[in-house]
Amino acid sequence: MRVLVAEDHASLARSIANGLREEGYAVDLTFDGDEALRWATINSYDCAVLDVMLPSKNGWTILETLRREGNKTPVLFLTAKDAIEDRVKGLNLGADDYLVKPFDWKELVARVRAIIRRRHDQPAQTVKVADLEIDLASKTVHRAGNSINLSAREYALLEYLALRVGQVVSRSEIWEHLYDQNDESVSNVVDVYIGYLRSKIDRDHNPKLIHTRRGMGYVLSANAT
């Protein structure tokens, strides 16, 4: 999952970005409002964490511009303003959530996760595909009752496929949602990670769950066809 973080207090911004990366998210970080809007327009984010008071363009203006252009990127506002009217304003503009500074880290992560689940119409905490179980909150994976150990990247890939279970997901979509802009991985990295996932999830089990749709991409599904 790829998250945009826009916060002009440098140390806070870096800590949020580092923390979210450790949670397995691909994070793009900016300190500036104009840049945040530009990035949100060209990249496809699963969630944008925006400070309200950003230099050059404030969070409200960014959200307004995005929604006017039909961009539905979910937005979570970080705000130092706790007046009711400020919160209402953000929500009225189409924000998905807001957190008042200083916030609890676990709460920020939980809300980002919830926003991403809603974004992919996945209301439940766990996704089940045949005998594969993915717990989105604890980030644990079981197949046929056995725990499967995945690296952060592998988990992120599986989570993305699971959130769009039954849908064909293209390589470029996977790339967009799993890697931030500073990532310099080679272009076949998606195929490489699909290979790792298959060896951990499908090799010793039946039915096979990760399928290749030639020329289109990949799909996580209990049915082969």
Partner 1 sequence: MAILLTVWAMLIVGGLVAYIVTRSVLLADFDHSMIARVRARPELKDRPEALPRIEESAEDRLLIDKQVGPNIRLPQVLPDNDRGPTVISRGFVTLGGGRRYRTLSLRFSPARAGGQPALVVYSSPTDRLDSILNRLALSLAGFGAAAGLAAAAVAVGVSRKALRPLSQTAQVIGEIDDLHLDRRIDADALPIELRPVAGKLNEMLERIERSTLQRKQFLADASHELRTPVAALVTTLEVALRRPREASAYVEALETCLSDARMLRQLVQTLLEHARGGFVKEESEPFDAAALMNQCADVAEGLAVPARVQIVRNIPPSLPVKTYSNRLRGIVMNLMGNAVEHNRPGGTVEIHCEAQGADLEVAITDTGPGIAAEHIPHLFEPFYRVSHGEDSSNARQHLGLGLFLVDSHIKSLGGTCRIESEVGVGTTFRVRVPGICTMHPTALEASIA
- Tell me: does residue 77 bind partner 1 (CB under 8 A): no
- Exactly one of 67, 94, 100, 202 binds partner 1 (CB under 8 A); that residue is 100
Q: Shortest approach of partner 1 to residue 25 CB, angstroms?
A: 13
Cα gap 152→139, rounded to integer Å:
9
55 touches partner 1 (CB under 8 A): yes
Is 70 a binding residue for partner 1 by CB under 8 A? The answer is no
Q: Does 12 bind partner 1 (CB under 8 A)?
A: yes
- Chain centroid, CA 200 distance in Å: 23
Q: Which stretch binds partner 1 (CB under 8 A): 14-22, 66-74, 134-142, 158-166?
A: 14-22
Distances (CA, A) of 96 to 5, 50, 111, 116, 129: 15, 11, 10, 10, 28
Min dist CB 166 to partner 1, Å, is: 33
- The secondary structure element, H or E, covering residue 134 is strand 132-135
Count residues near partner 1 (CB under 8 A). 27
Query: In whole angstroms, what is the distance from residue 117 CA to residue 78 CA?
Result: 19
Nearest C-alpha neighbor of 159 from the set 46, 50, 48: 46
Segment near partner 1 (CB under 8 A), from 17-25, 117-125, 182-190, 206-214? 17-25
Segment lying near partner 1 (by CB under 8 A), choices 58-66, 77-85, 144-152, 211-219: 77-85
- CA–CA separation, 60 and 54 (whole Å): 10
